[in-house]
Amino acid sequence: MISAYVKHKIFQNMIKKLSFIGLIIAFTFLYANAQFLHYGVKVFTSPYLEMEFYQYDNNEYVFYFANEQNETIRFDGLDTSLIRSFKPYPAVYVRYDFNERWFLQTEAYYFWFRNEASYENSVDFSEYTNTFNSQNNQEILNYNSMQLKWRFSGLRFFGGYVFMKTKSLRPYIFTGFSFMFLMSLKPGDTYFEREYRNFIIFNHLATFARVTLHNTSGIGIQYQGIRLSTYTLRSALPIDIYAADYQNGIKLTIDDPHPNYKYMFGQFISLSVNLYSKHTTKPLKF
206 binds another protein (CB under 8 A): yes
Least Å from the CB of residue 194 to another protein: 6
Round to whole Å and give the CA distance between 146 and 140.
8
282 binds another protein (CB under 8 A): no
138 binds another protein (CB under 8 A): no
Contact assessment for residue 34 and residue 280, using Cβ atoms and an 8 Å cutoff: yes
200 binds another protein (CB under 8 A): yes
Residues whose CB falls within 8 Å of the CB of residue 33, separated by 6 or more in sequence, listed in order: 98
6 binds another protein (CB under 8 A): no
Contact assessment for residue 127 and residue 186, using Cβ atoms and an 8 Å cutoff: no
Q: Which stretch binds another protein (CB under 8 A): 81-89, 124-132, 215-223, 243-251?
A: 124-132
Count of residues engaged in binding another protein, rule: CB under 8 A: 66
Contact assessment for residue 184 and residue 149, using Cβ atoms and an 8 Å cutoff: yes
Q: What DSSP state is assigned to residue 192?
A: G
Indicate the SS3 state at residue 285: coil
Contact assessment for residue 24 and residue 274, using Cβ atoms and an 8 Å cutoff: no
Round to whole Å and give the CA distance between 104 and 26.
8
193 binds another protein (CB under 8 A): yes
Report the residue from 3, 69, 135, 247 that binds another protein according to the rule CB under 8 A: 69
Contact assessment for residue 210 and residue 261, using Cβ atoms and an 8 Å cutoff: no
214 binds another protein (CB under 8 A): no
247 binds another protein (CB under 8 A): no
Whole-angstrom distance between the N-terminal and C-terminal Cα of the chain? 45
222 binds another protein (CB under 8 A): no
Please list every residue from 73 through 92 that binds another protein, using CB under 8 A. Answer: 74
167 binds another protein (CB under 8 A): no
List residues binding another protein (CB under 8 A).
16, 19-20, 23, 27, 30-31, 57-59, 62-72, 74, 94, 106, 108, 120-127, 131-132, 153-155, 179, 181-185, 192-197, 199-200, 202-204, 206-208, 210-211, 241, 254, 257, 284-286
